[in-house]
A and B are shown apart, each in its own frame.
Chain A
Amino acid sequence: MPSDPKDVTTLLLDWSSGTNPAALEQLMPLVYSELRRVAARQFRRETPGNTLQSTALVHEAYLKLVDQHRVQWQDRDHFFAVAAQMIRRILVTKARERKAEKRGGGQAKLLFDDAIGLPGRVDMDLIALDDAIAGLAKTDEQQARIVELRFFAGLSIEATAKTLGISPATVKRDWIVAKAWLFRELSRGGGRDD
């Protein structure tokens, strides 16, 4: 079911301006299904040898969903940040659900089910990563955001820099340190379920 751009745009504006925080919940599935569709389309178009640009992916979804005439550039950056947060939220929620289902043993590996649409599995303890990012956010909010944008939305260094309004050099540096910090956290924790 194609999303009504106006809906998404309205929801985005509402959320972005702070008028309706609940708009985020409604935005999520809409954005996400668009992301999926775009990804599948981009893939089919792919000629062997070209790398898929995930920044372009989010861009394209954005273009499809949002009425350009109505939003400001901050809103577009918001969109990206939103997309990243959304993906994170969805994945982690699913992971916790699955873990509860399994009840014990092994890493909770996430399987995208048909409702979300993108098949596959992400080989990582997302729950642990989510917790770790939350921990990082306590010390350095900016780094946490960078990780969200880069890892969950797949934005490039430049796009991340633009979205957050900081220099690419800062993003690069913060990203490296964040990765190291998170890796260390996850290694210590062992990434296993307690």
Chain B
Amino acid sequence: MTTENWQQVKRIVGECLERPASERKAYIAEACGGNLEIAEEVASLIASSFEAGDFLETSVVEQAESEDLLPGQQLGSYQLVELIGHGGMGSVYRAARTSDFRKEVAVKVVKRGMDTEFILERFRQERQILAALDHPNIARLLDGGATSDGRPYIVMELVTGQPITEYSTAHRLTVEEKLRLFQTVCSAVQHAHQNLVVHRDLKASNILVTAEGVPKLLDFGIAKLVAPDSQRTAAIFRLMTPECASPEQVRGEPLNTLSDIYSLGVLLYELLTEAKPHQFTTGDSAEIQRVICDQEPKKPSAIRPLAGDLDNIVLKAMHKDPLHRYSSAAQLSEDIGRYLSGQPVIARRDTLRYRASKFVRRHLAATVAAAAIFVSLAGGLGVSLWEAHLARMQRERADRRFADVRQLANSLLFDLHDAIKDLPGATPARKVIVDRALKYLDRLAHEEGRDPGLAEELAAAYIKVGDVQGGPNYTNLGDRTGALASYQKALQIRQALAAANPADLQARRGAARVYRRIANLQMFLGNLAEAQNSARQALGIDQAIIGDPRHSSEDEKSLARNYELIGDLLSGNGTSGSLNDDRGALENHRKALEISSAEPLDNSLLARYVRAVFQEKVADDLTRLGEREEALRLLESAQPVFEARVASGDSTARTDIALLQYRIGDTLLITGDAAAALPHYRTALELSLLQLAQDPQNAHLQLTAVQGYTVAGFALTRLGRLAEGLASMQTGERIIRSEIAKAKETGANQGALALILILSAEAYRTSGDKNQALVRGNQAADIFQSMVKAEPRDAASRLNLAACWNFLGRIWLEQGTADRARKAFQDALNLAEPSGAPGGWRSEAAKYVLADGYAGLGGVASRSGSLSEAQSWYQQSISVWERVAHPCPLRPDTFPTLGPTPVRAELDRINSTLARQGLHPR
């Protein structure tokens, strides 16, 4: 290159770096004026200048100065032997214990000139935490101190080895060997994360593999210790290794465990492909930001021959959005384990909701409900780190608030590791964290609430805090009122945003989402009226959005989910209690199905699955209303979708098929066709047992199996095959009693037992064994009574108990103990009446109970000879029956019922008796 050209190159490069990043490309193009040689040189030098970082910045003299520690010098109980190397933060020496020279260690002395006071303090505070990291694959922190002139140093386990990528290449490891090595690394990272230590600088050069093949992680948390989050050092760190930086690091945001997961992803990428995931051309920070934050790396399988699943694993770990990455190093390691053993990996599947049968759902109220409510991380140790973090955030200037708030929200979003969840002191610590977070957010909202960009971040943060407060995992410890308050704050912000920007659909979507969250929480708490209110608000917003031509197909899905939610509230699908409006439920569930079946039809498996779920819900509603044909049609058309899911490799879909078969069986049984029901129950039971064999500890599956034995047995008794039927029910009973004996007295288990008792009682009754029937009926009533006591607002429990009373009353009546019978029927009516109150004849199940109750009292009156009283009761019973569109031989939840026919017969008989006695029928 000529001298003139070189001068020009220098000039252009110098100019270019003075300009803001966004203008650089344009300036280069203009200044080089078409001279290719110059342009190439300029670009190359600029890239190189960024990669160079602080190359040559520390002069020889300075480096020599800092090496003031001589071999032989004493530091604490160690004597320095020789200098091993230089790091960005200081120098590393090999040293030996004075008392035992065979014990060699590494001593790291921090570079002079950094903010020593601050660092010393941090060292003191956090050395204990790092010293607690005790893992065979983490270089142990042994000791620490300060030199006589106040420079901090740390003493660590001495590790000799090769960086993991070099080791892997040098030893020509196979893919499997690389993966297993990587899993060891993951377990080390997991250990540190559980102790609330983030590495922040995970890269191949920090992971040495010894000659014996043992990987050792260096510098855990050191990066945090020696690099205060000031702008300058953040900038330096950012530029030093741009390829390894995570999106949040590039943006200058504080880092958390999810950033470590990203780094693990990069490491895995490098291990498997022996190449770096990102390349840079000009190297300016705009490009760095763009490439790392927006550009997807090349798939590993495009570089080396690798299985597609490995692609998915790497890319999930390296996802730009921290929330989409693996939530823990353990999870990443497990997925690799799944790949190695040939199982489907999480990274590829969508996680779909677990569906519980209506029976199981009814009694599992406490564990069902709300959509994604995340749980946050807290541990006793976390408080001090968190406080330091908060204090630091408060010192930042206003223009960093966005990142802070987002980071606040994100850092509350760690999935809980079991070990930390069980830490003593977790709950009070968590409360402290939440309180401080709220204080911070409240203050921010007060000071800067009018800034729309910040406002949205605040709203999101409030929601996350609310999730932490109200999380269902801590049913006894959750602060649900607090959660609602936080959601309300988020709602207010989003409503204000929506009002200020009427054209902005996103703000409205956000408001709808908060309403849904509130609705779910209210549902979970049993405040059904409020839940419905919130759900309707969400619905209103969604409908308005649909009316806007700019709406998307996601909005349609959201609208469908709203209808589903309202339908669930009205029908009692899986909630503790319901608003008992079967027709209303049907209407809403139908709408949900309609919307999701509209053109253009999404035929992906997921969309079809969602439609199948809706179909099941509509079918449930129809069954309750006795409309059997349509119900069966819908149920049968759901089967192929579940089968397709099983075929696609999702074995949990077999449970869906089992539950579907139960439904079909129930529909047939309730409408009086026990013979047709039986084969479906058999199929369902087989599937349940198959699932149970593979996962014997699964409580849900156990209940499903118990249910299978019970209903199959009951169906047999309805067909007159009493011995067989009772035997089957006894099998179910044995299982459930043994579960309860193992001290698993959950509501669901009790409910299951009660159902077995009442159904077998009915079987005994029809076989003539009244005593057994009474014994079991009473036991069932006891259980239902305790359930009603525990959840007085749960309509289903009340109705179950009422049905028990009706059942017992009938037997007592037959045996002649009229007083007991009367009391039983009265109790039943008291329980059932509020549900079926005038003005609200909306629950089919309630109607059955009421009708039976009235009929029962009619029978009592009739037996004692008061015929006109009897007439009046029977008439009331009939008037209830007339409100039942399709009376079925069994109640919607398979409980036996008297049915209208005998009642009509009795009424006719009494009418004619009274007529003969000269009294006119009314």
Contacts and interface: CB of A to CB of B under 8 A. Distances in A.
B302 interface: no
A173 B14 contact: yes
Nearest to A40: B68
A183 B59 contact: no
Nearest to B70: A119
A139 B56 contact: no
Nearest to A83: B61
Nearest to B69: A119
A179 B56 contact: yes
Contacts, number: 123
Contacts of B69: 119
A120 B67 contact: yes
A154 interface: yes
B59 A151 contact: yes
Interface string B140-173: 0000000001110000000000000000000000
Nearest to A181: B45
Contacts of B10: 140, 173-174, 177
A184 B45 contact: yes
A46 interface: yes
Interface string B1-43: 1010010011101100100000000000000000000000000
Nearest to A186: B55
B60 A91 contact: yes
Interface hub of A42, A58, A151 (most chain B Cβ within 10 A): A151
A143 to B, nearest CB: 8
B14 A150 contact: no
A176 B49 CA distance: 7
B67 A177 contact: no
A183 B45 CA distance: 9
Contact of B56 (A43, A47, A147): A147
A12 B69 CA distance: 33
Contacts of B6: 139-140
A139 B64 contact: no
A57 interface: yes
Interface stretch (B109-117, B241-249, B544-552): B109-117
B66 interface: yes
B65 interface: yes
A21 to B, nearest CB: 24
Interface stretch (A22-30, A48-56, A69-77): A48-56
A52 B113 contact: yes
A52 B67 contact: no
A182 interface: yes
B786 interface: no
A149 to B, nearest CB: 9
B62 A52 contact: yes
A101 B542 CA distance: 79
A151 B61 CA distance: 8
B56 A151 contact: yes
Given A48-B116, A183-B51, A152 B150 contact: no
A57 B64 contact: no
A35 interface: yes
B172 to A, nearest CB: 21
A11 interface: no
A123 interface: yes
A51 B56 contact: no
B454 interface: no
A183 B55 contact: yes
B149 A154 contact: no
Interface in B69-116: 69-71, 83, 85-86, 112-113, 115-116
A134 interface: no
B45 A177 contact: yes
Contacts of B59: 54, 150-155
A180 interface: yes
Contacts of A182: 55-56
Nearest to A174: B10
A121 B68 contact: no
A145 B497 CA distance: 61
B64 A123 contact: no
Q: How large is the interface on A (under 10, 10 to 19, 20 to 34, 35 or more residues)?
A: 35 or more
Nearest to B6: A139
Contact of B62 (A40, A50, A54, A147): A54
Nearest to B83: A121
B44 interface: yes
Given A139-B6, A182-B56, A46 B83 contact: no
Interface string B295-331: 0000000000000000000000000000000000000
Interface in A95-138: 112, 118-123
Given A153-B59, A173-B10, A177-B13, A120 B112 contact: no
Contacts of A39: 61, 64-65
A120 B48 contact: no
Contacts of A51: 112-113
Contacts of A147: 56
Contacts of B64: 39, 112, 118, 120, 122
A8 B575 CA distance: 94
Contacts of A57: 61, 65
Given A173-B14, A183-B52, A122 B60 contact: yes
A139 B3 contact: yes
Contacts of B65: 39, 42-43, 52, 54, 57, 118
Contacts of A66: none
A176 B66 contact: no
B12 to A, nearest CB: 10
Nearest to A58: B61
A150 B54 CA distance: 13
Contacts of A174: 10
Contacts of B1: 139
Nearest to A149: B59
A87 interface: yes
B63 interface: yes
A58 B64 CA distance: 13
A183 B48 contact: yes
* Candidate in A87, A118, A147 with the most chain B CB atoms within 10 angstroms: A118
Contacts of A121: 67, 83, 85-86
A176 B13 contact: yes
A181 B48 contact: yes
B491 interface: no
A153 B113 CA distance: 19
Contact of B13 (A48, A118, A120, A180): A180
B46 interface: yes
Nearest to B11: A173
A184 B40 CA distance: 14
Contacts of A35: 61
Contacts of B116: 48-49
A92 B826 CA distance: 105
Nearest to B68: A43
A176 B60 CA distance: 18
A77 B83 CA distance: 34
Interface in A151-194: 151-155, 172-174, 176-177, 179-184, 187
Contacts of A173: 10-11, 13-14
Contacts of A187: 48, 51
Contacts of B3: 139
A164 to B, nearest CB: 15
15 contacts: A39-B61, A42-B65, A54-B61, A58-B61, A87-B60, A120-B66, A122-B60, A123-B86, A154-B61, A177-B9, A182-B55, A183-B52, A183-B56, A184-B48, A187-B48
* 8 tightest Cβ-Cβ pairs between the two chains A and B: A120-B67, A154-B59, A173-B14, A48-B150, A180-B49, A183-B52, A154-B61, A184-B48
Interface of B: 1, 3, 6, 9-11, 13-14, 17, 44-46, 48-49, 51-52, 55-56, 59-71, 83, 85-86, 112-113, 115-117, 149-151
Given A118-B65, A181-B48, 19 more contacts: A39-B65, A43-B65, A49-B116, A52-B112, A52-B113, A118-B67, A121-B86, A122-B60, A152-B59, A152-B60, A152-B61, A154-B59, A154-B60, A172-B14, A173-B13, A177-B10, A177-B13, A179-B56, A183-B55
